[in-house]
Amino acid sequence: MSKKNIPVIISAVQFTQRKGTSKPLDSLSLMAKTGQEAIKSTGAKNLEAIIDAIYMVNISSWSYGDAPGELGKRLGITPKEKVYLPDGGQTPQMLVNRAAKAVASGEHRAVLVSGGEAAYSINKTFNKERPQHWPEKEDPKYINGKNWNISAIEIKYRLYFATLSYAIFETAVRASSKRNVEEHRKYMGELFAHFSEVASKNPYSWTQKRFSAEEILTPSPENRRIVYPYTKRMCANNLVDQAGSVIITSEEIAESLGIDKKQWVYIMGGATFWNVPDITRRPQLYDSPAIREGFKLALDQAGLTINEIDKFDLYSCFPSIVEISMNELGIKEDDPRDLTLTGGLPFFGTPLSNYSLHAIINSVDLIRKDPSLKVMVIANGGFNTKQSIGIYGTTPSLVPWGVRDDSKIQESIFKSALPESVDKVNGILRVDGYSIYYDRTGQPKRGVVIGSLESGARSCAIIEGDPDMFLKLETQELVGKNIKVKYEPEVDLNIIVSLD
């Protein structure tokens, strides 16, 4: 491969704006800060003139008419391409992969990938009222691409709440693992206790207090029940102010700019796939074909095996997606390798769609300190819907970027979809996953079940009952049981008649 076709990361900078900052920056200003530092850290002259594309992760906490364009003005960049995507946690890694392809093909000389949020400031410091030093809100003039539509049945049963859908996945994962309820509860606590430990040592983490497994698992006024089996400390924390920027160019340009090769980090491999978009039409609730296919292709491109990966950052909005990723990668419970570089979304923080850009920046920092390292990042969007994978190290990819066609694999994943879900059910439903959601005092409100019919199609149903019934249900395994369901036209919902 020619040096002009080999993409390399030359700069990666992140910033966390702490609580109590006297005049906190808005989301775009946080990105401008990291972008300026990213350019400056290279030591290269006139890098701004070489960066000809700005790829930006969707901003949720504030809204700008042309966020990539405004960022370019602030940084002195005139991009010939501006990309602003819909929300989705997979987008940072997907954009880095896209930038690698664009540099490899010669479409761009250098790409700035940036994202940031000031959700804590606008929601907590300013109580959703615009501070005078922030710009007026504007609707985006463009978004490149569309998000998927949530199905009618998923809207009806509130599966658009990520906490609920991932908790339902959790019970499916638990049943497939053959752990009983208490064994799995302890496993989740120990898993996230390690994430908390990593976060406590990360200077960019939003929460730097280390929590034990019991502190994560045990409900309290500071750690209320959210959905069964999750407490607050097991859920992503979106109320943070964080931003990051990464610059990608070619080996040839990096050399011409005089950038020290010790600062170069290669995007050795990558892939992006979707699972079946409708949760209720997925063949299983406890797996991810997108990860299964994607990580193999990424490893093949990098010329590596999974055993040669030294560290991982597995997306961790909730325990279930970590466990799903581990299962697909074949990582055992006793594997000594780190599963998070940052400390994870509940503890490091969740700048909404931009979390994984921080994981990538952490990867770059670690590899610069130890050039022998090979790191894999798995970014996740939607409801275990979209996943993008990247592998990082100090050697170029074995297979060049942009030569692979993944369309047939994606098509095969979509073709695995189950039949259309059934809206009205009077009969038996076999439970595939379930959860219970609570009010802010920790009292159970109702349960939600996803289950299969004899026809092979799926449906959803509601569990109603008193608090004692729900407390009893929390100690039992419902997955795999056949339950009787009746459609109630007055509420337009399927109601579980009996759990026996």
195-219: pLDDT as tens digits: 999 999 999 999 999 999 999 999 9
Final residue of a structural domain among 415, 445, 467:
415
Same domain for 492 and 403: no
Find the CATH number of the domain harbouring 466: 2.40.50.840
- The 10s digit of each residue's pLDDT in 218-247 is 999 999 999 999 999 999 999 999 999 999
Residue type at 362 in one-letter notation:
N
Whether pLDDT at 1 is above 80: no
Going by pLDDT thresholds of 50, 70 and 90, the confidence category of residue 283 is very high
Cβ atoms within 10 A of the Cβ of 180, count? Answer: 13
Final residue of a structural domain among 387, 415, 443:
415
Residue type at 293 in one-letter notation:
E
Same domain for 137 and 10: yes
Q: Which domain holds residue 76?
A: 3-148+238-415
Same domain for 280 and 403: yes
Same domain for 445 and 407: no
**To which residue do tokens 């993409």 refer?**
7
> Residue 8 contacts by C-beta under 8 Å, 6 or more apart in sequence?
248, 249, 250, 251, 254, 264, 265, 266, 267, 396
Whether pLDDT at 271 is above 90: yes
**Domain assignment present for 178:** no
Contact (Cβ atoms closer than 8 angstroms) between residue 392 and residue 246: no
- The 10s digit of each residue's pLDDT in 328-340 is 999 999 999 999 9
Handedness of CA 31, 310, 341, 263 (dihedral sign): negative
Structure tokens at 13: 């900078």
Helices and strands in the chain: count of H runs, count of E runs: 15, 16
**Domain assignment present for 215:** no
b/e map 210-231, b = 16+ CB within 10 Å:
ebebebbbeeeeebebbbbbbb
pTM of the prediction?
A: 0.97
Interval 36-55 mean pLDDT: 96
Report the SS3 class of residue 63: coil
Structure tokens at 478: 């419902």
The candidate with the shortest Cα–Cα distance to 343, out of 225, 168, 196, is: 196
**Domain assignment present for 225:** no
Q: Give the integer Cα–Cα distance in Å for 364 and 41.
A: 13
Interval 93-119 mean pLDDT: 98
Q: Give the integer Cα–Cα distance in Å for 156 and 278.
A: 13
**Residue 117 burial (10 A CB sphere; 0-12, 13-18, 19+):** buried
Report the SS3 class of residue 204: coil
**Domain assignment present for 222:** no
Q: What mean pLDDT value characterizes the chain?
A: 96
The candidate with the shortest Cα–Cα distance to 497, out of 459, 447, 462, is: 462
Same domain for 471 and 356: no
Same domain for 349 and 404: yes
**Domain assignment present for 143:** yes
**To which residue do tokens 């949760």 refer?**
279
Find the CATH number of the domain harbouring 78: 3.40.47.10
Contact (Cβ atoms closer than 8 angstroms) between residue 213 and residue 319: no
Report the SS3 class of residue 446: strand
Contact (Cβ atoms closer than 8 angstroms) between residue 268 and residue 416: no
Same domain for 436 and 389: no
**Model pLDDT, residue 274:** 97
- The fraction of the chain above a pLDDT of 90, given in percent, is 95
Same domain for 277 and 400: yes
The candidate with the shortest Cα–Cα distance to 265, out of 114, 357, 395, is: 395
- The 10s digit of each residue's pLDDT in 298-357 is 999 999 999 999 999 999 999 999 999 999 999 999 999 999 999 999 999 999 999 999
**Model pLDDT, residue 3:** 67
**Model pLDDT, residue 145:** 85
Whether pLDDT at 56 is above 80: yes
Q: Give the integer Cα–Cα distance in Å for 350 and 342.
A: 11
- The fraction of the chain above a pLDDT of 70, given in percent, is 99
Contact (Cβ atoms closer than 8 angstroms) between residue 110 and residue 54: no
Contact (Cβ atoms closer than 8 angstroms) between residue 162 and residue 171: no
Structure tokens at 102: 């664009």
Q: How far apart are the first and last CA of the chain?
A: 64
**Domain assignment present for 389:** yes
Q: Give the integer Cα–Cα distance in Å for 158 and 173.
A: 20
Same domain for 409 and 339: yes
**Domain assignment present for 206:** no
Any idea of the CA torsion for 281, 58, 329, 191, to the nearest 10 degrees?
-100
Residue type at 380 in one-letter notation:
N
CA separation, residue 453 to residues 276, 282, 415, 492 (Å): 19, 14, 20, 19
Same domain for 404 and 464: no
Same domain for 389 and 456: no
Structure tokens at 22: 């006297």
Final residue of a structural domain among 357, 382, 415:
415
- The 10s digit of each residue's pLDDT in 353-385 is 999 999 999 999 999 999 999 999 999 999 999
**Domain assignment present for 351:** yes
Q: Give the integer Cα–Cα distance in Å for 59 and 62.
A: 6
Same domain for 449 and 361: no
Residue type at 325 in one-letter notation:
S
- The 10s digit of each residue's pLDDT in 154-167 is 999 999 999 999 99
Count of domains for the chain:
2
Query: Does residue 229 have a cis bond before it (omega within 30 degrees)?
Result: yes
Contact (Cβ atoms closer than 8 angstroms) between residue 169 and residue 434: no
